[in-house]
Chain A
Amino acid sequence: MADILVVAELTADGKVRKTTHSAITLAKLAQPALGGSFSILVLGASAKAAAAELTGFGAAKILACEDPSLANYVAEHYAPTVAAVGKGFGLVVACASSFGKDLMPRVAAKLDAAYAGDCSGVSVNGTQVVFKRPMFAGNAFGHVQLGTAIQVATARQSEFEPAAPSGGSSPIEAVAKVAPGAAASRVEFVSLEAVKSARPDLGEAGVVVAGGRAMKEKFFDVLNPLADTLGAAIGASRAACDAGYAPGDLQVGQTGKIVAPGLYFAIGISGAIQHIAGMKGSKTIVAINKDAEAPIFQLADYGLVADLFQAVPALVEDLKKHKAQKG
């Protein structure tokens, strides 16, 4: 029997990020194989306050490592504590956000643990956890078993329904920060320039409107009204980001964000394999493109062959009408 440790992720202002809830879901799905409980580790300058947000999810305990030196996330400062705490567990998990992707391989190496990154599912085979992982830009899924005493995995946020509070009140225990190694003395956090946006987080939005290079400098002029009308997050193709029409953190694709909203608009996006890998899990896909042969139409539930500069404003008007009628 072995227990599972979930590493929580905090926002820059010290709140629990929703990514944590997807990692909890992975832990709960893996629990039957290992037969034990799960606990949550929270690290940060105000970890205890954040830990209090997580007491209602059924964890055996919430471990809070509160230290001023953890105010800004730096892997070299976090990994030694996560690994030291993780030693007592059979499986250590986090969300495959940029935080989890940066931190968890480092933790795995420290624990001499095998690693399954960016999992889209887990299943149980007797006492073995089987991790399902997208490969080849989502064109194949591999089911992998890890053979080390401790295993480390990260959960693709869009593939794990965020855990809902299940009641109860897990006890909070303080844990001390483990002194970092030589690596930490040679890395310095300089800044985190967060892009301020009133829109929902791209990874968590129910609706995403994404634009391609065809939008040119009009990228936000075209997409903002549509996103406003739908309460949507804005995404972009790699080509639009590379050309500088949209910032890099909006990129949807194998090499950017992986999203799976209820409704996805691909506007002026041709549908390169690497873009499709980032959004093919969306429930309903709409494509608007003036090229009727664009590969995106093979994937879209609804395709509209039209000039986006005319179609999108018309769409905004019609959506507004629809909303007004619906009341």
Chain B
Amino acid sequence: MKILVALKRVADPANHNKVKIPAAGDKIDTAGLEWQINPFDLYALETALRLTEDGKAPKTRLGEVVAVTLGPAETETNLRSALATGADRAIRVDTTDDALDGRLVAAALQKLVEEEKPDLVLMGKQVVDGENNYVGQALAELLDWPMATFAATIKEEAGGLLVGREVDGGVSTLRVKFPAVVTVDLRIVAPDSVRSSKTAEGFKYPYEEVRFAPLPAIMQAKKKPLAVKKLADLVGGATLSSKYVKFEAPPARKAGVKVKDVQELVQKLATEAKAI
């Protein structure tokens, strides 16, 4: 199986409360924030690795995983870390965040997919900065491929995947045939959420979330192929169609109070907040 994993660099979500918006409201000031791969995209990478191994011998790759990002040269650090965790090669589309919107990302990925011809495209269900939840579905439509969004479980079958999706009020299960696009949700990285055709019955990963690259792998990753492409070569002269005209911070909540016991809480909820 050949899998293309789309990764986006985002400001560290643990520091999102440090996001600053200048008084002019013309941009989001990301200075001082640390950059890392979007957590959901890291889960997609972990999913790709699990689908191309039997679990017991993770060094024996049973397929090819290509990591892709769109961004400036610094994002090669993120691609190298994807290579160190097990991706086979990487592609960077040279551009900057402010030159992109969802439509351009989907269009660029469409061209890359047409060149690479993977069986499966994986990515996170959303990026934690822009939170638009758009690219995976749009890419599937542009390719006229089936999709399964918000995947919480994946089981490989002959010629496709059985995908359990977390939806409002329950779990929806879809069967998709390759080639397909799958976007992943949080619980896809539970120890037994992903089963490739080679995963042994009852096998569970001994860790939650994602694997870490051992030091020798980090050294070896420097030798793995990393190609750079120009955005214009993929999307031609297409330009931005979403324009952010203003940013603002959320209104501050007024400071709350501590209550001494349950009785005081109920009394305040009844008489002050009039909430009960």
Contacts and interface: CB of A to CB of B under 8 A. Distances in A.
Interface stretch (B1-9, B85-93, B244-252): B244-252
B242 A201 contact: no
Nearest to A253: B186
Interface string A6-47: 000000000000000000000000000000000000000000
Contacts of A285: 253, 256
Contact of B171 (A193, A306, A315): A193
B175 interface: yes
A109 B141 contact: yes
B137 A194 contact: no
A299 to B, nearest CB: 6
A303 B264 CA distance: 11
Interface string B236-247: 000011111111
Interface residues of A, number: 93
A96 B131 CA distance: 12
Given A140-B28, A299-B256, A201 B169 contact: yes
A132 to B, nearest CB: 9
A195 interface: yes
Interface stretch (A98-106, A165-173, A211-219): A98-106
B11 interface: yes
Given A106-B141, A140-B21, A273-B17, A187 B242 contact: no
B266 A315 contact: yes
B174 A74 contact: yes
Contacts of B190: 242
B276 A76 contact: no
B51 to A, nearest CB: 18
A299 B257 CA distance: 10
B118 to A, nearest CB: 15
A174 interface: no
A182 B144 contact: yes
Given A136-B28, A304-B259, A109 B17 contact: no
B269 A284 contact: yes
Given A101-B133, A117-B131, A304-B262, A141 B169 contact: no
Interface stretch (B57-65, B73-81, B146-154, B221-229): B146-154
A268 to B, nearest CB: 15
Contact of B128 (A249, A254, A263, A299): A254
Contact of A302 (B185, B208, B268): B268
20 contacts: A97-B168, A98-B167, A99-B167, A105-B138, A137-B128, A139-B19, A187-B148, A188-B176, A189-B172, A192-B170, A193-B173, A248-B185, A255-B126, A274-B13, A301-B257, A302-B265, A302-B273, A306-B261, A315-B266, A318-B262
Interface of A: 74-76, 79, 96-99, 101-110, 114-118, 125, 130, 133-148, 181-184, 186-195, 201, 203, 207, 230, 238, 241-242, 248-249, 251, 254-255, 257, 262-263, 273-274, 280, 283-286, 297, 299-306, 311, 314-315, 318-319, 322, 326
